[in-house]
Amino acid sequence: MSEFEPKIIAFLCNWCTYVAADAAGVSRFVQKPNVRAIRVNCSGMVDPSYIVKAFASGADGVLVGGCWPGDCHYISGNIKAMRRAPLLKKLLGEMGVEDLRFRLKWIAASEPSQYAKTINEMTEEIRKLGPFSRKKKSATRSVA
């Protein structure tokens, strides 16, 4: 019973990934119970501060789920999310947050199996990494 259970915060877009998550439950796909879902209107409204705050408040992983490029309900919100992710990943990496802990995934409303697969994979990979601790500093920082 002492096995580490990762806490994953998932910011899910109201129009695609949240519907997929809902459908995954209705379809009775087996899912790990480690995800705390937060419904947002669009993946484009997930400010980097939310993600940083999630890690600072004790999350072990953060998933941002949005519509596939071109499918955004608000036309280009998911493109904004796509622009932010690489730079945020770089900052998180410098602060000792491993690459696998933060993910941006496109999951359409019609892909509940994909949603279940994503969170199952993510939970297992973060379980292997162990809990995220703010004190732990890794040497991933590169100075050019």
Residues within the interface to other proteins (CB under 8 A):
47-49, 51-53, 55-56, 69, 76, 79-80, 82-84, 86-88, 90-92, 94-97, 133-135, 137-139, 141, 143-144
Q: Which is nearer to other proteins, 38 or 52 (CB)?
A: 52
- Residue 141, burial from CB neighbour count under 10 angstroms (0-12, 13-18, 19+): exposed
- ∠30-125-88 over CA atoms, to 5°? 115
Q: What is residue 4's three-state secondary structure?
A: coil
- List, in sequence order, the alpha helices (H) in 1-144: 17-26, 48-56, 77-94, 112-129
- Of 39 and 90, which CB lies nearer to other proteins in the complex structure? 90
CB of 140 to other proteins, least distance (A): 11
The encoded tokens of residue 29 equal 């796909």
Among residues 74, 21, 25, which one has the least CA distance to residue 46?
74
> Which residue in the block uniquely carries the two structure tokens 């732990």?
136
Which CB sits closer to other proteins, 72 or 116? 72
The token pair that represents 119 in the structure block: 């969170």
Closer to other proteins at the Cβ: 31 or 101? 101
Give me the least distance between CB of 61 and other proteins, in Å please.
Answer: 14
Least separation in angstroms between CB 22 and other proteins: 28
Least distance in angstroms from the C-beta of 47 to other proteins? 5
Minimum CB separation of residue 103 from other proteins in Å reads 14
Specify the residue, 24 or 72, whose C-beta has the smaller distance to other proteins: 72
